[in-house]
């Protein structure tokens, strides 16, 4: 409601993103209540949150033209490599700057590789901003859709390996014995 009021009456030419406003509100709220009360509220809210997140991801992904995936080609690989490079070395340098343990420096970047929801949110924002540039919208949609599909296979395996190498999870034992 507050976002709608700002968009309608106070801001001209600027549109607030309601999803990002919700994330900001949730972060502030979570820091204002006690951990015990937050856990109690979260227990009541969990079923609603699950359905809401699923609806949001479907809503964000529905307008993407998945036929553009094959045409994204080189842009997809540039995006995936640039994103992976930024995540890995950004996490490494941030961990070094904050004097974190070696396991964080070495493996945090791997655990940050999977993505879907955030990239879809920003794809929606970009496509709305570039609405008059249909060729650019098609490139962005194809690139992000292809990267999301590829990353959901490759990056999840890399993230799992990062958690294993950091000692956060144990390798699964085969039950063939």
The residues spanned by each domain of the chain are 65-172
Taking the CB of residue 1, how many other CB atoms lie within 10 A of it?
Answer: 5
Q: Kindly give the residue spans of alpha helices, DSSP state H, lying in 6-34.
A: 18-32
| pLDDT tens per residue across span 44-59 | 888 888 888 777 766 6
What is the C-alpha separation between 87 and 114, in angstroms, rounded?
10
Q: What is the pTM of this model?
A: 0.59
Residue 121 contacts by C-beta under 8 Å, 6 or more apart in sequence?
17, 19, 20, 60
Inter-CA distances, 159 with 88, 92, 114, 134, 166, Å: 11, 15, 7, 35, 10
Digit-coded pLDDT (tens) for 79-127: 888 988 998 999 999 999 999 999 899 988 888 888 666 777 777 778 8
Task: Give 119-170 pLDDT, tens digit per residue.
Answer: 777 777 788 888 888 888 888 877 877 787 777 778 888 888 888 888 888 6
Q: Which of 18-27, 67-76, 83-92, 132-141 has the highest mean pLDDT?
A: 83-92
Compute how many other C-beta atoms are within 10 angstroms of the C-beta atom of residue 54.
Answer: 10
- Contact of 107 with 162, CB cutoff 8 Å: yes
């Amino acid at each position: 409601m507050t976002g709608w009021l700002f968009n309608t009456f106070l801001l001209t030419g600027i549109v607030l993103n309601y999803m990002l406003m919700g994330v900001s509100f949730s972060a502030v709220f979570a820091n204002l209540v006690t951990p015990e009360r937050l856990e109690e509220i979260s227990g009541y809210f969990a079923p609603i949150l699950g359905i809401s997140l699923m609806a949001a991801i479907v809503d964000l992904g529905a307008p993407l033209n998945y036929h553009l995936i094959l045409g994204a080609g080189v842009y997809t690989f540039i995006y995936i490599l640039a994103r992976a490079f930024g995540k890995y070395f950004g996490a490494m340098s941030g961990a070094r700057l904050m004097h974190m343990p070696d396991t964080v420096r070495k493996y945090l970047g791997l655990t940050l590789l999977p993505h879907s929801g955030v990239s879809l949110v920003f794809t929606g924002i970009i496509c709305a901003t570039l609405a008059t540039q249909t060729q650019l919208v098609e490139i962005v949609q194809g690139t992000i859709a292809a990267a999301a599909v590829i990353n959901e296979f490759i990056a999840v395996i890399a993230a799992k390996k990062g958690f294993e190498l950091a000692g956060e999870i144990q390798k699964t034992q085969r039950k063939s014995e």
